[in-house]
Amino acid sequence: MPDSSNSDHQPVPLALFYHRKRKLFTSPLDTCLEIGRQRENEPSPPTRVDYSDGARVILAALDDREISRSHLQLEPLPGESIRVTNRSRTLPVRISPTVRLAPGESIQLTPPLLVQFGVYAVRVDPIVEDDLELMGLSNYTIPPGKRIAGQLPVELPKIDRLDDPALLDWLQMVLGVFQSAACSKEFPAQAARAVVNIVGLDTAAMLQFSEKGRWRVVALHSVAADQNEHTWIPSQTLLSQVRRQRRTFRHLPSSGSADTPRSLEEVTALVAAPILDVTGEVIGALYGDRRRCHRAIGNFEISPFEAKLVELLASGIAAGLARLKEEQSAMAARVRFEQFFTPQLAAQLEMDPHLLTGRDAEVTLLFADIRGFSRISERLGPERTMAWIQDTMGVLSDCVLQCDGVLVDYLGDEIMAMWGAPVPQAHHADLACRAAKQMLLALPSLSARWEAELGQVVELGIGINSGIARVGNTGSAQKFKYGPLGDTVNIASRVQGATKYLGADCLISGQTHAAFQDPQVTRRLARVRVVNIDRPIELYELTANPSDDWGHRCHRYEQALVALEENQLLSAQEQVTALRISFPDDGAVAELEKRIAEALQRDDHNGTAVWHLPGK
């Protein structure tokens, strides 16, 4: 669809394109125009495509050999002159019966001008400002969502009965536009039809005002077969006045003269109503006209009541556009939120985005790391590694979302999740531990899917910690990323790293253990000091599927651990040896046995109560 240029200060000429003397397309000559036939992947002709440094008018289809892909260029120059360039490599361009441009040649002309190239032609007329006498409605148009205060209705036409068929037909058509504005994207076209049918105009169009200062035809309806969105030309003066004053204007032109601009040829009456956004800015217009060629007799005046009907329909369009924009914003927010949150939480955040404001919150953090990732990825190669990591992260993410958690980030082969924010959760520690257990229970089926390629089972290291963290958008204005900051986060990461040294798949901190309501599935493994954290941390193993002898095993482990912490190394060694015989597959027992043996080898047996982990 073409753009009809609008500028409140500097009018621009209009280029009218013809094919075999039939008007095909119109475009403002507001930038350098390249003219030619369609290229691969370009839209169907006729159309205009705008670029940062100019625009391209596509007149003919890809297989039309009567015109080059880039045949002609029109470049507006300071003043009113235009540089015409023949960009074809082989075909001439005719300026007049005696003047031709060879391929590559240029000429500077002043409108009016007519350029012919094959069966196509373009005409540019001098700039003639249509100095119209416009009559505006007394009231300003109300933006969508604003209350009408202090405005009196225009005088209604004389109708004998409330059930007058004409009035009922009008109301039916108006209601049809408003209903489509509430449920369909077709309401601009329906509104244009309604203007023609209700007001009795010949042509009506919805125009959109672009950021580049041009009016673009969005929908057009006409009783004339030769009027379409490619050839119809509106009055720029009327549109400029509507945009400046933000109210509806109508016009009754005098009889035609030699100075009548092309946009007003055969026009008898005009009307245009602004389409406003919620801030009151003009984003478009609903425009209509009556033409002499379609009216032999009768009163051609557009009455104030008819103009008010056009404004009413324009307000319906404005309400529909505001609704679509709100729906699109809500959908974008929903898509953005559902990348991190459960659908239920995303809907809640959509209604109250202030929940995302940075604040301190009591939260539980979970880090889950895929063990042996580098070794496995080297074996699989990039393509299969991508498929495997996506499958694994999908499984882990489902566990988080099923337990009402927030997906904070994916850190290579590690996932980070959070509970307790943005909405407070009373049992955030329980929810995090439940998600961890679901992850561990999901590993066998995940491993089975990839066993043939991996040659081993998929293993995780999971660390969980609870405490106060600063939560909010930890990303930027360009890229949203909701998450936590602070020591609570750092400790959770260190707890995950400790799984490598304590022979456990899942560890929780003492803070999480204190809030956890199912402690029978845990056992204390050690008090440790981790890198860059001053205070010692109590670590507990969390099991997803405790065996029948779990309680007995935990009791015996605790006895050996207490003996070590109290520096009773011989007793600790005796107890852990017996424990190792009873439970040879217990990774935590094996690591405790190593730790006791290392303590016995040291000359100084002090400091066995807190274990300094050798790394992250």
The pLDDT of 551-577, averaged and rounded, is: 93
pLDDT digits (tens, 9 = 90+) for 395-415: 999 999 999 998 889 888 999
Mean pLDDT of the chain: 83
* Mean pLDDT of the 312-326 span: 80
Q: How far apart are the first and last CA of the chain?
A: 62
pLDDT on residue 301? 76
Q: Which residue ranges does the chain devote to CATH 3.30.450.40?
A: 134-149+162-326
Residues 59 and 67: beta-carbon distance below 8 Å: yes
| Residue 181: alpha-carbon gap to chain centroid | 22
485-493, Cβ contacts within 8 angstroms, sequence gap of 24 or more: 487/533, 488/363, 488/365, 489/365, 490/532, 490/533, 491/465, 491/467, 491/530, 491/533, 491/537, 492/365, 492/366, 492/367, 492/463, 492/464, 492/465, 493/367, 493/463, 493/616
Q: Is the pLDDT at 159 greater than 60, yes or no?
A: no
What element of type H or E holds 58?
A: strand 54-60
pLDDT of residue 5: 44
Higher pLDDT, 62 or 251: 62
Dist. CA 576–CA 590, nearest whole Å = 8
**Beta carbons of 508 and 499 less than 8 angstroms apart:** no
DSSP three-state, residue 84: strand
| 458: Cα within 13 Å, side-chain hemisphere | 28
Q: Where in the chain is the domain with CATH 2.60.200.20?
A: 3-124
- Average pLDDT value for residue range 51-71: 90
- Give pLDDT tens digits for 430-444: 999 999 999 999 999
Q: How many CB atoms lie within 10 A of CB 359?
A: 12
Task: Work out the average pLDDT over 309-334.
Answer: 78
Instruction: For residue 2, give the nearest of 21, 41, 30, 28 by alpha carbon.
Output: 28
Domain limits, CATH 3.30.70.1230, in the chain: 360-546
| Structure confidence at residue 162 as a pLDDT band (50, 70, 90) | very low
As a whole number of Å, the CA-based R_g of the chain is: 38
Q: For position 475, what pLDDT does the model report?
A: 77
Give the CATH number of domain 360-546: 3.30.70.1230
Of 184-188, 222-226, 382-386, 516-520, which has the strongest mean pLDDT?
382-386
Q: Report the pLDDT value the prediction gives residue 392, as an integer from 0 to 100.
A: 95
- Global pTM? 0.55
d(CA 369, CA 373): 9
- Say whether pLDDT at 8 is over 70: no
Tens of pLDDT, residues 347-361: 777 677 777 778 899
Provide the pLDDT confidence category of residue 71 given band limits of 50, 70 and 90.
very high
Domain 3-124 has CATH 1.10.3720.10: no
pLDDT of 293 reads: 57
pLDDT band at 305 (very low <50, low <70, confident <90, very high): confident
Q: Which of 62-71, 90-99, 135-144, 460-469 has the lowest mean pLDDT?
A: 135-144
Q: How many Cα neighbours within 13 Å face the side chain of 94?
A: 9
Residue 154 has pLDDT above 50, yes or no: no
Task: Specify the higher pLDDT residue, 479 or 446.
Answer: 446
Please give the CATH number for the structural domain made up of 134-149+162-326: 3.30.450.40
- Mean pLDDT for 495-501 is 94
Residue 200 CB partners (closer than 8 Å, separation 6+): 290, 306
